[in-house]
Structure 1
Amino acid sequence: MQLRHIRNMIIIMLYIAIAFVITFYILSMKYPHASAFSYETCRATYDMTDDLFKTLNGEVPEDASNVAAASASTPHVQTAPDGKASHVAVLMYHYVVPEKYNVEPNNARINLEAFEQGMKFLHDEGYHTATLKELEQYVKGEIQLPEKTVVLTFDDGYQNNVVYAYPVLKKYGFKANIFIVGTKLSDQKQKFIPTAKTTISRQEMKATSDVFAYHSHTYNLHYKRLVQCAEYYAAGKDSKRFTHDIDLMKSKTGINTPYFAYPYGEYDPQMVYDLKRNGYRMAFTVRPGFVHPGDDPMYLPRMNVTSTTTVRHLLNLPDE
């Protein structure tokens, strides 16, 4: 009886929190320049709702970051047998283009020349590029990986990944992964223009499957929208849209794997719950850091690689 009473009280508190959320959401949309007090109250209400959801569903570890620019987590202190990895770096790329065509330099674009240099370094140093299946087994403690192991990931599904990155990866015998936005997957191959944001076609996806494995970056929720307290967040934080989007990704693209990359690295307890409920077993943030055995597989960090940050530096290797 006491447990039932506690459960009912939690449910009541949850409904109250939701009511507050709806109220303050409407107010924040109507009065975007409301007082700091209104904003803080709105944020506190959302935080309370998240805490209640976590209590009821056991989602999100206490030390997991929920923002894209969060700092790295506390370093793990682990040992591994000689020649085996105590940690693994998951490297993250987006847009790959020759320097002469890089008309909008930013942290999501890497010059082809820098990419080639990084891949050559990994090859010359004897690095193994693990698949996501291998990484999942490593995180679960089911297998060990070579000491020199990395995982290569690309987000969004740009056509330049197959035009420029694919030949380099194939040359070195590397495996990589593309987290693709489903609606960006073209039925017909697009005319490739180096300075344009053209995306991968089904034909190119099939032709590059010897190097690239394709996974979900949502079907059509890779954009920002007003979600709460007059702030822009990844659209995936809308639970109804997100659950429908998961179904669309599988049915419309044929991409049905258990691996996912959060759009903009943003997530909340409901998203994680929905992913697990729909068979996803591992998901990636943009929080920097290394992956270790025993890490929560739904909140794995990745290292963003840019034209000015070398792979050697990201792997914490000493300069020559």
Structure 2
Amino acid sequence: MFRSLVFHEIRPVEELNGQQRPIVVADGYEDALPLPLFDSLPLFQEQINYLKQEGFHSLSISEVRAFYEQGQPLPEKSVLLTFDDCYQSLKEYAYPVLKAAGFHATVFVAAGWLFEKPSSYQPEVSRVLSQQELAEMKNVFEYANHTTHFHERRGTTQSRPMWETPERFKEDLILCNDHVALTDVFAYPFGLYDQQTVAVLEELNFNLAFTTKPGINRKETAPLELYRDVIPYTLPIEAFKKMMETEEK
């Protein structure tokens, strides 16, 4: 069994000013990233240091796949580290911390959001990276499907895969797979999905898909509805440690 943690933005404390930041993406979609989806750099460093000191193993997707498909056991202390959306802070702050710790992570890529060329870090917005920059971080990150242009929402209850036709969703997924190595792994945009969404993934032979529902993933957990714990900047380090040490009853 294992926990999967999801991060979005890792920022220095001075950049966490209590304000939402607009996202800046290549396909022009407009939204704002809420503050609970940020994590402070000192806290992230403390979290990673704790995982390293306690002997946690950072899982690869191949290990998770083997756990579900072949019944391969996982190390006793296993954690899957994940990031969504590919914001500039992934390169600026998260990458160096993980590289120094010798940890690996999975990044879910909204391919239509990626820019053609790198640009300088912009702290006042949540700007997405370029394909080139992702390629430069392959020694730490592996990349999976997060849709191409379907990372959009209506309020807090619907993501675009839920209101589009299955045929259009399939086209979008196939297009995104041209930009990622892990073509059978998916994360639901905003954690929002329904059973039609799951059915499309099954039809396209996706083997793993991640929600944002908290919990421990066990052998009996549905592989297309895997749990991920969102880690916000408001989570105290002691609460983080307790979460990692506590098994569900």
Normalised by the shorter chain, which TM-score bucket? 0.7 to 0.9
Determine the C-alpha separation between the residues in 1 that align with 2:98 and 2:138. Answer: 12
- In structure 1, the residue matched to 2:233 is 307
Larger Cα Rg: Structure 1 or Structure 2? 1
| Corresponding letter in the other structure for 1:191 | S
CA–CA distance in structure 1, aligned partners of residues 231 and 74 of structure 2: 22
Answering whether residue 187 of structure 2 is matched by residue 187 of structure 1, we say: no
CA distance in 2, matches of 1:277, 1:240: 11
**SS in structure 2 at match of 1:107:** helix
Shift of 1:302: 0.7
Deviation at 1:188, TM superposition (A): 0.4
Q: What is the match of residue 156 of structure 1?
A: 85
- In the TM superposition, residue 225 of structure 1 has moved relative to its aligned partner by 3.4
Deviations 1:155-192 (A, max 9, x none): 11111111100000000100101101111111100221
8 Å contact 1:140–1:293 — kept in the other structure?
no
Deviation at 1:131, TM superposition (A): 0.5
| Larger displacement relative to structure 2 (191-200 or 171-180) | 191-200
Number of the residue aligned with 1:178: 107
Look up the SS of the partner of 1:110 in the other structure: strand
Q: How many Å apart are 1:125 and its aligned residue?
A: 0.7
TM-score, normalised to structure 1's length?
0.67
- Structure 1: gaps of 5 or more residues: 1-86
Which residue number corresponds to residue 128 of structure 2? Answer: 199
- Check 1:117–1:274 CA distance in 2 against 1; reply closer, same or farther (3 A cut): same
- Residue by residue over 1:196-254, the C-alpha shift from the partner in whole angstroms, topping out at 9 and shown as x without a partner, is 2111211211110000001111111111138xxxx951011122331221122124x25
TM (norm. structure 2) is 0.85
Identical pairs, percent: 31
Question: 1:124: how far off?
Answer: 0.7
Whole-angstrom distance in 2 between the partners of 1:124 and 1:254: 32
Match of 1:138 in 2: 67
Cα separation, partners in 2 of 1:255 and 1:145, compared to 1, 3 Å: closer
2:50 is equivalent to residue 121 of structure 1: yes
- Distance, in Å, in 1 between the alignment partners of 2:146 and 2:225 is 14
Higher mean alpha-carbon deviation, 130-139 vs 110-119, is at 130-139
Kindly report which structure 2 residues correspond to 1:60-75, keeping only aligned pairs within 5 A, or say none: none
Give, in whole Å, the separation in 2 of the partners of 1:114 and 1:232: 30
What runs of 5+ residues in structure 2 fail to find an aligned partner?
20-33
> What is residue 160 of structure 2 aligned with on the other side?
235
Instruction: Summarize deviations over 1:265-308 as a string: whole Å, max 9, x none.
Output: 11122211211221211000011100011321000001111223
Contact 2:143 2:180 in 1 (8 A): no
State the match for 2:2 in structure 1: 88
1:277 aligned residue: 203
CA distance in 2, matches of 1:183, 1:100: 30
Match of 1:225 among 154, 160, 174: 154
Range with greater deviation from structure 2 (299-308 or 139-148): 139-148
Counterpart of 1:165 in structure 2 is: 94
2: CA distance between counterparts of 1:247 and 1:100? 40
The runs of 4+ residues in structure 1 deviating greater than 3 Å are: none
Point out the structure with the larger strand share.
Answer: 2
User: By percentage of residues, which structure has more helix?
Assistant: 1
